Structure 1
Amino acid sequence: MARRGLTRGEIVDATWDLAAQRGLAAVTMRAVAEQLGVTPMALYRHVGDKQGLLDGLVERLLGEIPVPDPELPWRERLRELAAGIRAVARAHPDLFPLLFHRPAVTAAARRPRDSVYAALREAGLAGDDVVRAERLLSTFILGFAASEAGGRFAHLDAEAEFGYATDAIARLLEKD
Structure 2
Amino acid sequence: MPRPRSLTTADLAAAALAVLDRDGLSGLTMRAVAKELHVATMALYRYVPDRDRLEVLVVDQVLGGVDLSVPPGDWRDQLRALLDRMRVAVTAHPAAVPLLMRHRQSAAATLHIIEAMLGVLAAAGFTGRDRVLAQRTVIGYLLGFLQNEHYAALAGPGTAAMAELAAAEFPYLTETAAEARRLGPAAEFHGGLDIVLRGLTLPES
- Asked if these proteins are the same fold (TM beyond 0.5), I'd say yes
Contact 1:93 1:146 (C-alpha < 8 Å) held by counterparts: no
| Equivalent position amino acid for 1:148 in 2 | E
Correspondence 1:171 to 2:164: no
Does the CA-based 8 Å contact 1:85-1:142 persist in structure 2?
no
AA matched with 2:63: L
**Residues 19-168 of structure 1: matches in 2 within 5 Å?**
19-69=20-70, 71-149=72-150, 151-153=153-155, 155-158=181-184, 161-168=188-195
* Residue type of the alignment partner of 2:194: D
Q: Which has the larger radius of gyration?
A: 2
CA distance in 1, matches of 2:11, 2:59: 15
**TM-score w.r.t. length of structure 1:** 0.83
Distance 2:111 2:183 in 1: 31
Q: Partner residue of 2:158? A: none
Instruction: Quote the offset at 1:19 in angstroms.
Output: 0.9
Query: Which residue identity is paired with 2:183?
Result: D
Give 1:70 deviation, angstroms.
Answer: 6.4
Matched residues in 2 for 1:124 and 1:117: separation?
A: 11
Q: Contact 1:123 / 1:173 at 8 angstroms: preserved in 2?
A: no
Aligned AA (1:172): G
> What is the DSSP-based 3-state SS (H/G/I as helix, E as strand, rest coil) of the residue aligned with 2:104?
coil
Q: Distance in 1 between matches of 2:133 and 2:90?
A: 23
User: Matched residues in 2 for 1:122 and 1:157: separation?
Assistant: 34
Alpha-carbon separation, structure 2, partners of 1:78 and 1:33: 38
AA matched with 1:157:
L
Q: Distance in 1 between matches of 2:109 and 2:94?
A: 21
Query: Given the superposition, is the C-alpha separation of residues 70 and 126 from structure 1 closer, same or farther in structure 2, using an over 3 Å criterion?
Result: farther
In structure 2, list runs of 5 or more residues that go unmatched: 156-179
Flag as ranges the 4+ runs of structure 1 deviating above 6 A.
none
How far apart, CA to CA, are the structure 2 residues paired with 1:27 and 1:161?
30
% identical aligned pairs: 34
Measure how far apart 1:163 and its partner are.
4.1
**Larger deviation, residues 46-55 vs 138-147:** 138-147
Give the distance between the partners of 2:10 and 2:28, measured in 1 at CA: 16
Instruction: Find the aligned partners of 1:3 and 1:160 in 2 and give their Cα distance.
Output: 49
Q: How many residue pairs are counted as aligned between the two chains?
A: 176
Task: Point out which structure has higher relative CO (alpha carbons under 8 A, 6+ apart).
Answer: 1
Q: Which stretches in structure 1 are left out of the alignment for 5+ residues? A: none
**Residues 142 and 65 of structure 1: is their aligned pair in 2 closer, same or farther, counting only changes over 3 Å?**
farther
Structure 2 CA distance, aligned partners of 1:19 and 1:5?
A: 22
Cα shift at 1:48: 2.4
